[in-house]
Structure 1
Amino acid sequence: MAERFDNLVEGLTEDRAMSVILADPETLDRPVDKYMAATRLGASDTEESLDVLIKAAELSPEHLFDRITRRKAIDALGRRKSTRALPTLFRSLSCTDEAAVINAVDAITKIGAPLTESNQRSLIKALDGEDIQKRAVIQAFCRLEINKAEETIRPLANDQNPLVCGAAKAYLARVHKETSGLDDLVPQLIDPIAGRRRSAVIDLGDAGDVTRLEALVTAPVSMSLRARSAFQLVDPNKTCHVPDEYSELISQLLQDNPQHLKLRQEWVCPVDAIEIENNLQHRDEARQYGGALSLMNMDKRSRMELINEIKQKLWSDYVTHYYLTSVISLQGLSERSDLICLALAETIPQYTKSRIAAAWGCLRLRLTDQKPLLEELSVSANWLPLKWTCRQVLKQLS
């Protein structure tokens, strides 16, 4: 989500963003400022900035920087959630830039306004694109719960591409209450290909079938992605209340112990310092979890030495930051409780997962001095999993 990277444009004022986003890129010393401006205006709330974003969403795609800016502007319009952007977004569905079309579909979904018959026909027509575009369109029909697309989408539940058929099965489950097709998505949660695992997590969340929660909890996929889908299932209205019957599973998911995940043997590296460090930096989170598991399996002295060494080199990397915080929390390593406190206090959005791990660490290590910050987050945190975690931790600390 663009919100995760708001800190990258903090120094860009709204006025400056509006002045450069529509400028000829050839006249700018830093043409990249154009699409950074789109991200900045996505975080604004003035009508003037919305007007500028709408204009930017129709920039000519001929120049590379204008083309990228148009994509970013379309994405930003979804974040603004104004129905005034819908005519522009629906026009964007017919452009030849697939990335812009996908962003337009996502933006229409985020706005969430009722669609006219004409709007629905435009969306159905966008199913004619490549598989990634096709998946985005199916997801839109699913999340907007539009039942009139059944005739077109039903055959896609048998598509050879799992990204397409998974989205179609989620649509049939959520909109037409046909959940049997979801049985095929559960084995996909441990597929050797990371993208297929991630798509299955997303599809099960979209499907709305809470009986699939346990399968989501143990999937070797990024905790944040699983949490997003899980909260769709147990708290669809975003109330920060999880029914008692699901609380234990949600706690298990958010504590994110790699010992409880369904990891293939090839994802788990040898208990070796170099191998563990390499796994923690791997692009596939299943291998990251494998590295964290091997770190947990080290003897305590070696584990502490490696944690200290990796901390010195990679603490600023938000992925490694998370796994170090998580292992310290899960194993109650009081020697590095200072890192738990540092992680809990970290406000940069990319480190939000680490704040969850740190909150559980406060409970395990009985860091009662952190209660004021936990109390603040239990009220003000933007991300529901973090807010819910802090509330659970405070209850148990008391």
Structure 2
Amino acid sequence: MSNNRFANLFGLSEADAIVLLDTPIDQLGEEDSRYVAAAQLAYFPSEASIQALIRAVYNNDPAFDNKITRRKAVESLGKLKAQAGLAAIRTCLADTGDTYTIENTAWSIGEIGTQDPEILETLAQLLELPEQTYRIIIHTLGKLDYKPALARIQKFVDHEDRTIASAAIATIYRLTGDDSNMEKVMEFLFHANVYTRRLSIQDLIDTKYYTAIPEITQTPVSMVFRMRGLRLLAETAVPEGQLTIDQLLPHVEQLLLDHPKNLQLVHAYDQTPAIDRLIRELYETDFGRAYLAIKTLIDQDPAVVGPALIKTYYEEAREDYGAHYHVMKLIGWIGYGAGYDILLEGLNVSQPQFQKSKAAAAIALGELGDKRAIEHLKPCLESKLWDLRYAALIALEKLGDTSGYELLANDSDWYVQARAQQAGRSAVV
């Protein structure tokens, strides 16, 4: 079933979206968008929506607006995992000159799933054509366990695009169990290109390569990517008895603390930049550069760095979830007490995209050592966010409050429960 949380994202009802998607291009109003209608129907897993999307896929009008609508219809059928749409979607594999359509088609086939050898072989044959979206094609062939594609996938293990090479190596391991080249995928975790680092984490997740967890925790990308990798890999490794929660706990805590000293940074400065330049780096989408700046700022004079953080917070970081998160952490790392009120604001931020800042603010409050924070942190022990409960536990611990040990000893989250129990045992001893 599709998630209806965004069902009204585009302001169209299911019926309105179907009517709009079926409207001939020459009859559309100036504000009408069939593309938006196709996107909207991904949130309505009904037979009517699926059939409307199928009709859109079969519409071969060469107009650009129809092309992008067709691509989006293919994607929406994939999101709905609509088996009934597979026959229509497979016709798009002939659009070899339209890489965007091929990409959406390959992805949707993987989401829907099939063991039809004709579909899978047609998909595999695309690997022999130039300028295709090789990564997603390889990933789908691996996901659907199509071993006849192995020889063709093998040709990509040394591809100059390391995201493609990573997918090829991981898929060969997935299909054969041969892990002789998986070290290369782990090397890609520390590639200069941020997308290579992120996608190699995804490849390790897809292959359930849990032995890479220590390396993933050190990868200089957003903590969200790393934590997702750890938790998804653990979902396989723990039940199979390959790893225990106690073994994973240090990695979880290291990730939540997210200090740059625990990362393998991939960038470097020839000369230490000025404070203003370092502050600008906090807004980098490549977190590898942001973490380098953070590491450098930690070593500067707090009396200079602190006011610069406060200034950028009120000017810009309040609206930028990446920089917002980094500012929270830095106030704690440099022990800048004047940032206390900003941390309280971060602890209570409500926008969904800023949620990771809540745990960051909790940890920073612990670092400041101001016991006034205890009354603000205690309610966080009952938050719906597991990372905030964990962060509040360790922050309160730093402030001398151990009330969370008993409260969270039977927490619904593996890691929160283990941390509370472990700390509780130590406190008794």
Q: What do residues 295-341 of structure 1 show as CA deviations (whole Å, max 9, x unaligned)? A: 43343333332222112222112222232234346567665455555
Residue 22 of structure 1, CA deviation: 4.1
Residue 223 of structure 1, CA deviation: 2.6
Work out the CA distance in 2 between the residues paired with 1:51 and 1:41. 10
Work out the CA distance in 2 between the residues paired with 1:7 and 1:281. 31
Relative to the length of structure 2, the TM-score reads 0.75
- Name the count of aligned residue pairs: 386
Of 350, 371, 374 in structure 1, the residue corresponding to residue 380 of structure 2 is: 371
Provide the residue aligned with 1:28 in structure 2: 29
Residue 218 of structure 1, CA deviation: 0.8
- 2:256 is the alignment partner of 1:247: no
Residue 389 of structure 1, CA deviation: 9.3
Change (3 A) 1:331 1:160: same
Question: Could you list the runs of 5+ residues in structure 1 that have no partner in the other structure?
Answer: 382-386
Q: What do residues 15-56 of structure 1 show as CA deviations (whole Å, max 9, x unaligned)? A: 44334344455633235x433333332223333223323333
Work out the CA distance in 1 between the residues paired with 2:325 and 2:93. 38
Work out the CA distance in 1 between the residues paired with 2:250 and 2:207. 21
Residue 136 of structure 1, CA deviation: 0.8
Superposed counterparts of 1:244-283, under 5 Å: 244-266=246-268, 270=272, 272-283=274-285
Residue 211 of structure 1, CA deviation: 1.3
Q: What do residues 47-101 of structure 1 show as CA deviations (whole Å, max 9, x unaligned)? A: 3223323333344463333222222232222222232222222222222321121
- Is the 1:322–1:357 Cα contact (8 Å) retained in structure 2? yes
Structure 1 range deviating more: 205-214 or 348-357 = 348-357
Of 306, 319, 337 in structure 2, the residue corresponding to residue 316 of structure 1 is: 319
Superposed counterparts of 1:1-398, under 5 Å: 6=6, 9=9, 11-24=11-24, 27-31=28-32, 33-60=33-60, 62-95=62-95, 96-111=97-112, 113-130=113-130, 133-236=133-236, 243-266=245-268, 270=272, 272-314=274-316, 315-328=318-331, 335-336=338-339, 338-340=341-343, 342-343=345-346, 346=349, 348-358=351-361, 360=363, 366=374, 367-371=376-380, 374=383, 376-378=384-386, 391=416, 395=420
Structure 1 range deviating more: 306-315 or 122-131 = 122-131
- Is the 2:186–2:215 Cα contact (8 Å) retained in structure 1? yes
Provide the residue aligned with 2:401 in structure 1: none
1:9 alignment partner AA: L
CA-atom RMSD in angstroms: 3.7
Specify the SS of the correspondent of 1:201.
helix
- Is the 2:294–2:330 Cα contact (8 Å) retained in structure 1? yes
Change (3 A) 1:24 1:368: same
Question: Could you list the runs of 5+ residues in structure 2 that have no partner in the other structure?
Answer: 368-372, 390-411, 425-429
Q: What do residues 223-275 of structure 1 show as CA deviations (whole Å, max 9, x unaligned)? A: 33333333332224999x97332222133234332222111452698463321
- Is the 1:269–1:290 Cα contact (8 Å) retained in structure 2? no
- Is the 2:245–2:418 Cα contact (8 Å) retained in structure 1? no
Specify the SS of the correspondent of 2:44.
coil
Specify the SS of the correspondent of 2:268.
helix
- Is the 2:74–2:89 Cα contact (8 Å) retained in structure 1? yes
Work out the CA distance in 2 between the residues paired with 1:107 and 1:76. 8
1:306 alignment partner AA: A
Residue 342 of structure 1, CA deviation: 4.6
- Is the 1:61–1:67 Cα contact (8 Å) retained in structure 2? yes
Specify the SS of the correspondent of 2:133.
helix
- Is the 1:7–1:348 Cα contact (8 Å) retained in structure 2? no
Change (3 A) 1:333 1:194: same
Change (3 A) 1:54 1:254: farther
1:234 alignment partner AA: A
- Is the 1:377–1:390 Cα contact (8 Å) retained in structure 2? no
Specify the SS of the correspondent of 1:9.
coil
Structure of higher RCO (CA pairs closer than 8 Å, 6+ residues apart):
1
- Is the 1:269–1:276 Cα contact (8 Å) retained in structure 2? no
Relative to the length of structure 1, the TM-score reads 0.81
Work out the CA distance in 1 between the residues paired with 2:333 and 2:311. 19
Change (3 A) 1:132 1:196: farther
Work out the CA distance in 2 between the residues paired with 1:263 and 1:288. 10
Change (3 A) 1:373 1:338: farther
Work out the CA distance in 2 between the residues paired with 1:97 and 1:362. 52
2:305 alignment partner AA: R
Residue 207 of structure 1, CA deviation: 2.9
Change (3 A) 1:312 1:238: farther
